[in-house]
Structure 1
């Protein structure tokens, strides 16, 4: 059986109002809302090299400018460089006999670039010893960095001193982040020369002096033919911003940039929705709250030829990914009444967050064990995300069925056992065409608008309500899992209209 699949065929509406496929969404079990990559907090969990799989602490990665010290990239095509062995014959120390010695050089297997092309000498060991190009502005940059570090340190010391003098009262500048010097400059007052920060200001480096005379262009600049194979591209120059070589004979190997593992955190309740393993070679997750594992998946099985103003049949496949039975019902989706729905959902989210915060503020018994993953973080305040208006135009009317249908829980063994269908479920034959284990094929009647021209894209939508079983509350209070109705807006792109028979 063939399915109509694609990146934008079946889209779910996120809490913020964006339309995404179910594989691009997350589901927060604490505030029970869908989250996309734009309405979650992205935090760097660890830094590692994608080639040698070495974990690097954040402080060390900051010093190394987020580059690996052992792995290199090709300056020509930005692919990984691999060491090659070259044997050389040279006399040993104190002996006249000639011996063969192994030497190593860097080589690119894609563009055939090697470190020998730019005159880098071969090394006797595989790891280490590769010379880096010296930056002619390194001293100047280091002086500027030392100056700004000293200024920041003096500001912190002065702020701590001022806080001790004021006691518990907070000034206006501490709340807004505006320094006293910037505030005096903004309101037009002269600088306070008696301020201790200005007295202990570190020595500034010598200012750069502009030159009035520059080097003359060569005489053959307009007559000499240009070989584009010897000139670097803009990408190659930006790969080495400290030198920006203009010719290919000045390209040096570039240290490979570090990769990161991200932790995604819900902005409303501050709980993690995705947290990977610390080991860089592992692809598993400690926390993996993808919507694919909590929300029923919808796929388009078949759809009759779409003709403007004529009803046609649409068959959808619903799959229950959870370990609990769910009941699915349909509601009409009206985007004109979206403002009222937005306000109601916003109020519901606020109530859920307040209820969750009250539960965690209550004193726990001696027998209960607090969990670090369930504790609200105090690093940043909670943010209530106000949904935006869904910018989607529906040009197809869908007949909403009044009856509901049940999806049994997921059973991996039932996929290979055809005799295990023991679910005594009485379905509406007009709605459910066929079912197996946790899947059901649903028949819907749709009618494209009469005003649609030929080859126009047909889009329809509905609200899917399913019973979600929340196991988090049951684990905290040692009670049975709570069940409630969860609604999701679903948009289907059915294809293009065809002509009449």
Structure 2
């Protein structure tokens, strides 16, 4: 039997409506929903260099423009540069005629054979650094622009704070009750009457505006008289790799600092729990939290399928695998795309939308009333912020009907040792022989009958689908009094691409 394991053959419907293979989906155990990469929050956990495996704080990475200070990549092919050793002879201090070898280091690319010697970079006496950096001729102008925009941002923030103080002017402050204002306090301790940011005290110099020129320098005569050698001209990718210089010829290419890599933490948008969190160590490929759907949702694979003919019933053999540590019961239901369940979460009221609340609700959410009623304060702190997510309509063209079986089948829990045990299974399960053809360990081979629609043309793609309902055992309980795992039915829409339609007999 040959297994079809192409990712696009079997796809699952995510909660947001997108179709993804099971290897690209996550399963949130708290809200018990499937999540794809588009319906989770991506957060940067750590920044590190993929070559030297050094963790770099986010503040330092921002200063270094998200690049490593010790590792370089090739400016031609963007591969990692390696340090090579070259020995040179130097005169000894004692005897003029005697020479001693000295180790020198240079950068070389093992892929395209580019080296730092090709552009005239001198060899260094140490391995870890000292490589000269190309100066940016527009550094001063860029710094002036940065200072000017920083001053504009600070001025906007101060204006917003003044507007907030005017709105709160009708309430008495503690300084007004005591008769001592903030200006009097500053005067008493010897500070100036008004404090502003250093960037706002002296207005930064605005950069000189660009002036259009009517006369343009003439092109060099060599462009018209000498043939062009494309091997000496840089490509667009090579120029964009160094935007501050944008060299036009290959003899002006300098080594580029390697860009930093990140480790991402994925968080569910509805309950804000982590579905994926990696280890802090850059050299580790393990995860602290890995709620992948592959470890919780039964996997479906196509084993065999008969030749597909329009209007004729064909036999389809599917393989169901239970990846969890708990026994599950699978029921195959009919797929109904017209009646999709849309669950909109309630958005918790916050202090940002107080203008939309009534006077009574504002009084209940005020701080003195919360302090007098501890129960309301506890409920406000434990309420998880939710986001209203409207799933999109599934746009899969299903053109094949599936005969839904009336019986169910059971999948035992996963047992890694059973893969190497040929003595036989010990599970005494009474299966429907018309549905389950063969089973071993946590796997079962199920037979289904599919019928392509009669109006399909030759070589058309045949797509069928069904709803898989399985019993999920949730080991994480939300309430403290319920310590036993909770079991409930979880439904997943599965779509199968069976292949091309062949002609009739």
Range into which the TM-score falls when normalised by the shorter chain: 0.7 to 0.9
Is the partner of 1:127 in helix, strand or coil?
A: coil
Aligned Cα RMSD in Å?
2.5
- Higher Rg: 2
CA distance in 2, matches of 1:267, 1:137: 43
Alignment partner, residue 86 of structure 2: 86
CA distance in 1, matches of 2:108, 2:243: 22
1:145 CA displacement: 1.4
What does 1:102-501 correspond to in 2, within 5 Å?
Answer: 102-160=103-161, 162-164=163-165, 166-167=167-168, 200=201, 202-210=203-211, 211-335=213-337, 337-338=338-339, 341-343=340-342, 346-347=343-344, 381-419=385-423, 421-473=425-477, 476-501=480-505
Is the partner of 1:221 in helix, strand or coil?
A: helix
CA distance in 2, matches of 1:33, 1:405: 23
The C-alpha deviation readout for 1:256-284, integer Å capped at 9, x for no partner, is 00000000111111111100001100000
Query: Structure 1 residues 434, 131: CA separation in 2 closer, same or farther (over 3 Å shift)?
Result: same
1:419 CA displacement: 3.3
1:166 CA displacement: 3.9
Unaligned runs of 5+ in 2: 172-195, 348-374
Please say if residues 452 and 462 of structure 2, whose CA atoms lie closer than 8 Å, have aligned partners that are also in contact: yes
CA distance in 1, matches of 2:478, 2:323: 20
Please say if residues 474 and 480 of structure 1, whose CA atoms lie closer than 8 Å, have aligned partners that are also in contact: no
TM-score, normalised with respect to structure 1: 0.85
The C-alpha deviation readout for 1:366-400, integer Å capped at 9, x for no partner, is xxxxxxxxx9898xx53222110111111111100
Is the partner of 2:341 in helix, strand or coil?
A: helix
CA distance in 1, matches of 2:26, 2:303: 25
CA distance in 2, matches of 1:72, 1:281: 19
Please say if residues 315 and 448 of structure 2, whose CA atoms lie closer than 8 Å, have aligned partners that are also in contact: yes
Query: Structure 1 residues 270, 75: CA separation in 2 closer, same or farther (over 3 Å shift)?
Result: same
Unaligned runs of 5+ in 1: 171-195, 352-360, 365-374
Please say if residues 313 and 446 of structure 1, whose CA atoms lie closer than 8 Å, have aligned partners that are also in contact: yes
The C-alpha deviation readout for 1:229-282, integer Å capped at 9, x for no partner, is 010000000000000000000000000000000001111111111000011000
Please say if residues 151 and 200 of structure 2, whose CA atoms lie closer than 8 Å, have aligned partners that are also in contact: no
The C-alpha deviation readout for 1:208-236, integer Å capped at 9, x for no partner, is 34244332212342232111001000000
TM-score, normalised with respect to structure 2: 0.84
1:58 CA displacement: 0.3
Is 2:105 the partner of 1:101?
no
Q: Which moved more, 1:197-206 or 1:326-335?
A: 197-206
